[in-house]
Structure 1
Amino acid sequence: MGKVLLTGGSGFIAAHIVDILLAHGFDTVVTVRSDEKGQRILKAHPDASKEKLSYVIVKDVAAEGAFDEAVKSDPPFDYVLHTASPFHFNVQDPVKDFLDPAIKGTTGILKAIKAYAPAVKRVVVTSSFAAIINPQKHAEVYSEKNWNPVTWEEALDSSQTYRASKTFAEKAAWDFVEKEKPGFDIATINPPLVFGPVVHYLNSLDAINTSNQRISNLIQGNYKDGLPPTATFLWVDVRDVALAHVRAIEVPEAGGQRFFVTSGSYSNKDVADVVRKAFPELEDKLPPRDAPSDKPADVYGYDNKKSIEVLGIQYRSLEESVTDTAKSLLSIGA
C-alpha cells in the first residue's frame, strides 16, 4: 500500500487517522512531541508490528529544520499527512506566537520533503473551514472556491488571529507548490467544527478538542441555564475527517484539490436535543427543552459534493456523532 508519515500523531484527528491507515494496510510513522506520547500510541495498537507502526520525535514543528530528519526513511515515504500544528499556551504576540509558527510549520515540512524525501508523491495538509469562511460577509453557499479574505493587519486582532493563521498557512502551502515545483502534489482538508469520540488512549478531560468541549460542557450541566451562541453553524464527525485524509492519498484525482468536509448545519440546540433523547438520565443537567435555537432561517449553505464524489465520503448524522461523542466523554468522567 505504501509508507506514510503522519505528523502530530497524538492529536484528536490524527489518532483516528492512525486507525484508518493501519486498517487500509499502510506502514505508518507518526511524529510526536515526546517518547511518552509515542509509547501511548504503540501500546494502543498491540497488534501492529514495528514495521507497521512506529514514531519519531519532533519537539517543535515550527523550529527551523524541524522535519529534516523525520522525513528521511528506509524504505522511503510515499505520502505525508500533515496534521500537526504549533503548540503553545501563551499567545502574547500574534505574529511571533501564532502566525509565524502556523505558516513556518507548514512550509517547513514541505521544504524538508523536497530536500530529503524525493520519493513522496503527495502531501495532505489539514486546513480548516477557517480558511474558507468570510465572517464579515457570509457567502450564500460555502465551497472550496471560497477563501477567507482576512488581511495581515486584521490578523493582529486577537479575534481573527486563529482564522488568519489557518488561511495564511494553507495559502503558503499552495504557493510553495506553485513556486518550488516539488516532485509531489498536495491536497488540503478543510473541516469546520469537529465532533466525534475521543480515542481511549488520549482520554483526558483536559485534552478535549475545542469542538467537543461544548458537548462536554453540556453533559456536565454547564449550560443548564441556557446555551451559548453556536457561532459556526457547520460541523463534521472526526471519523469522516480522518477518512478524508486517507482517501486523499488513495484517490489519484485528489491531487491539487481542496476538500471542504462537512456533514451540514447544526446549532447548539440541536446538540442538546440529541443528548436529551440518547441520555434521558442527564435531563436535569440540560438546558430547558424550550430553549430557542439561534440558527438563522437564512443560515449560509454548504457544498460538500467534491468530498462525496472524489473521496467517497458518506457523512455520519449529527445524532450518531453526538451520541458517540457523549458516550466517550461519559466514559472518562465528563
Structure 2
Amino acid sequence: MSRVLLTGGSGFIAAHVLDILLQRGHRVVTTVRSQEKADKIKQAHSSYGKDKLDFAIVEDIAKEGAFDKAVISDPPFDAVIHTASPFHFNVTDVQKELLDPAVIGTTGILKSIKKSAPTVKRVVITSSFASIVNPFKGNWPEHTYSEADWNPITQTQAVENPANGYRASKTFAERAAWDFVEKEKPNFSVSTMCPPLVLGPIVHYLNSLDALNTSNQRVRDLMLGKGKEEIAPTGTYLWVDVRDLAESHVAAIEREAAANKRFFVTAGYFSNKEIAQVIEKRYPQYKDALPTASTPGGDYPPEGVYKYDNKRTSEVLGIKWRSLEESIADTVKSLQAVGA
C-alpha cells in the first residue's frame, strides 16, 4: 500500500478522502493548519497508530516553500492528494485572498515534490467545475460540458468581484498545474478532479452548523425553514456526493490509467426544490419548515440547462454514483448530529 501525503486534512472533502485511504490500508500524513485540528482528527481515528496516520502543520499554503518540509518523509511518499484551497466569498482583495493562495498553493506543492520528494509517482489535485464552466454562457442548453472545456475567464474579469475571483482561482490554479507538468517534466503524473456542487454527509468531529461547507448550507437552510416563502435559486444544476468524489481522488492514485488526466466528477442534475422534496419524504418531522409544492423558486429554468459527459470518471475511475435521495438523507442525518 502507498504512503500518501494528504493536504488540507480537516476540509469537507479531505476528511472523506482520509477515511477511504485508511480503510484501504494506505499510510497517511495529512497537513493541517493547527495542532488543535490534528488532535481532533487523531482522536476520531484513535485506532490508527502514528505509522498509519501522522500530521504535518502547514499554517499558510500560499507562503513560498510552504510544503517544503511536509513532503519529506521517512519512509518516503508514493503519492500526494492536494485538496487544500481557499473557498469563501467574504473577501476584500480578490488577488491576494483568492487568486494568489490558489495558484501559489498548487504550484508550490508541485515544486516542493519535484525538489524534495523524488519517490512520488502520483499527484491528485482537487480542482472544480468552476474551471470547466463558461460563466458567460448562462444555462447554455445546447452545450455538453466535459473535460475538454475550460472556463475562459481573464485576469481582468477575475478581479471584478469575489464570485468571478473564486471561479478564476480554480481555473488559474488548475492551468498552472498542467503548465508545470508540461514545462518541468516532473517524474510524477498529475490528475485533476473537477466536481460541481459537493453535497453529502459532513464529518461531525470537524463541524458545527456555523462552520458548514458552503454547498451543504443550502440543505441546512431548507431544514431551518429559510425556503418557506421562496426557494433560493439552485445556481449550479450539477452535483456529486462527497463520498463519490473522495473515492475518485483515491482511485486516481491507485489506477495507472488515471495518470495525467482531468476528471469531471458529477453524478448529474439536481435542484433546490428536489432537495426540499427529499427532506420531506425522508424526514417528515421537517414538513412545517419546508416549502410546499406551490412555493416559488428553486426549480430548473424553463429553457433547460447544459448537458454533461461524466463517462471518463465512471470508466477510468470506476465510480458508481450515489443518488440524490441517498446523499441528502445522509446529509440531513449528519447535520442532526451537530444540532440541526
Task: Output the TM-score relative to the length of structure 2.
Answer: 0.96
Q: 1:221 aligns with which of 225, 250, 259?
A: 225
Q: Does 1:157 align with 2:169?
A: no
Q: Which amino acid aligns with 1:115?
A: K
TM-superposed CA distance for 1:291, in Å, is 2.8
Query: Identity across aligned pairs (percent)?
Result: 61
The answer on whether the counterparts of 1:194 and 1:237 sit within 8 Å (CA) in structure 2 is yes
Residue in 2 that maps onto 1:291? 295
The answer on whether the counterparts of 1:15 and 1:199 sit within 8 Å (CA) in structure 2 is yes
Deviates more, 1:139-148 or 1:149-158: 139-148
Residue in 2 that maps onto 1:270? 274
TM-superposed CA distance for 1:90, in Å, is 5.6
TM-superposed CA distance for 1:2, in Å, is 1.1
Residue in 1 that maps onto 2:94? 94
Residue in 2 that maps onto 1:198? 202
Residue in 2 that maps onto 1:279? 283
Q: Which runs of 5+ in 1 are unaligned?
A: none
Q: 1:172 aligns with which of 167, 170, 176?
A: 176
CA RMSD, aligned part only? 1.3
The answer on whether the counterparts of 1:233 and 1:266 sit within 8 Å (CA) in structure 2 is yes
Q: Which amino acid aligns with 2:157?
A: E
Residue in 2 that maps onto 1:188? 192
Q: Does 1:148 align with 2:136?
A: no
Q: Does 1:25 align with 2:25?
A: yes
Q: Which amino acid aligns with 2:306?
A: Y
The answer on whether the counterparts of 1:8 and 1:14 sit within 8 Å (CA) in structure 2 is yes
Q: Which amino acid aligns with 2:292?
A: P
CA distance, structure 1, for counterparts of residue 89 and residue 230 of structure 2 = 29
Deviates more, 1:295-304 or 1:313-322: 295-304
Task: Output the TM-score relative to the length of structure 1.
Answer: 0.98
Runs of 4+ off more than 3 Å: 86-90
TM-superposed CA distance for 1:290, in Å, is 2.3
Residue in 2 that maps onto 1:69? 69
TM-superposed CA distance for 1:192, in Å, is 0.4
CA distance, structure 2, for counterparts of residue 67 and residue 171 of structure 1 = 20
TM-superposed CA distance for 1:89, in Å, is 8.1
- Matched position secondary structure for 2:76: coil
The structure-2 alpha-carbon separation of the partners of 1:88 and 1:198, relative to structure 1 and needing over 3 Å to count, comes to closer
Q: Does 1:332 align with 2:329?
A: no
TM-superposed CA distance for 1:223, in Å, is 1.3
TM-superposed CA distance for 1:91, in Å, is 2.0
CA distance, structure 1, for counterparts of residue 84 and residue 133 of structure 2 = 22
Deviates more, 1:201-210 or 1:263-272: 201-210
The answer on whether the counterparts of 1:62 and 1:86 sit within 8 Å (CA) in structure 2 is no
Give CA deviations for 1:261-296 in whole Å, capped at 9, x if unaligned: 101011100101000100111111001222355313
The answer on whether the counterparts of 1:225 and 1:288 sit within 8 Å (CA) in structure 2 is no
Deviates more, 1:297-306 or 1:100-109: 297-306
CA distance, structure 1, for counterparts of residue 171 and residue 84 of structure 2 = 15
Residue in 1 that maps onto 2:12? 12
Residue in 1 that maps onto 2:321? 315
- Matched position secondary structure for 1:169: helix
Residue in 1 that maps onto 2:135? 135
- Matched position secondary structure for 1:4: strand
- Matched position secondary structure for 2:193: strand
CA distance, structure 1, for counterparts of residue 271 and residue 30 of structure 2 = 35
TM-superposed CA distance for 1:100, in Å, is 1.1
CA distance, structure 2, for counterparts of residue 200 and residue 227 of structure 1 = 27
Q: Which amino acid aligns with 2:301?
A: P
Q: 2:248 aligns with which of 237, 240, 244?
A: 244
Q: Which amino acid aligns with 1:212?
A: N
Q: Which amino acid aligns with 2:299?
A: D
Give CA deviations for 1:38-63 in whole Å, capped at 9, x if unaligned: 01111101111110001010000000
TM-superposed CA distance for 1:260, in Å, is 0.5
CA distance, structure 2, for counterparts of residue 81 and residue 131 of structure 1 = 18
Give CA deviations for 1:195-220 in whole Å, capped at 9, x if unaligned: 00011211211221111000000001
- Matched position secondary structure for 2:332: helix
The answer on whether the counterparts of 2:204 and 2:337 sit within 8 Å (CA) in structure 1 is no
